[in-house]
Amino acid sequence: MKIAVLHGPNLNRLGRREPHIYGTATLKDLERLIRAEAKRLGVRVVFFQSNHEGALIDRIHALADAGIGGFIVNFGAYSHTSIALHDALKSVAPLPAVEVHLSDIKKREPFRRRSMTARACVTMISGQGFAGYAAALQLLAKPLSSTR
């Protein structure tokens, strides 16, 4: 099984962007953690980050057509505004997606408290930092391990 991890706008700035909210670890650090967890679970992962909504949509479609098993998505600010990304995930159903947010969006600014894209996902994990990605990977890998 292969899982895609898609990162939206400004996640390439992890480690430098608002470290009081997101910490000082980088996107590369996060990818290392996810790769280690994937290896432990026996799944493969691919990564993609873009600051452009259309590029994320194109990648969702391409990965689905290439046989990806599921998605972990953190669309950043697009989570709160993008019906197009919501529709892109719906267009590749029944592929599962888990939305992850490093910070707890329910405790952030009012405009961040609702996610448009989470409605197209099986669940949302918010406020667990990097550990939220490991939890998402475990959740998506569960169907695979339950058939072993």
Name the residues annotated as catalytic: 22, 101
For residues 146 and 110, give the distance between their C-alpha atoms in angstroms, rounded to a whole number.
39
Judge contact between 76 and 8, C-beta under 8 A: yes
Structure tokens given for 41 = 């679970």
